[in-house]
Amino acid sequence: MAKKIRIRLVRSTIGTLPAQRATIRSLGLRKIGSTTEKDVNPAIMGMVQAVSHLVSVEEIE
């Protein structure tokens, strides 16, 4: 079974670069406090790393 992570948007995207806003949207996040669960793979981890200052990540079983 693949590992999963829970991603939560904790900071606003106002004032961020358009590419970072697009990354947040493609992760499935809209409002502050919204969460999504994703399988761990290199593409998702790269997206999370690019917006790490806006999100919190926790591993789930």
pLDDT band at residue 61 using 50, 70 and 90 as cut-offs:
confident
Please state the rounded mean pLDDT for residues 18-42: 97
Residue 1 has pLDDT above 90, yes or no: no
**Over pLDDT 90: what percentage of the chain?**
95
Q: What 3-state class would DSSP assign to 36?
A: strand
What is the rounded distance in angstroms from the CA atom of residue 60 to the CA atom of residue 3? 7
Residue 10 sits at the vertex; the CA angle it makes with 7 and 16, to the nearest 5 degrees, is 105
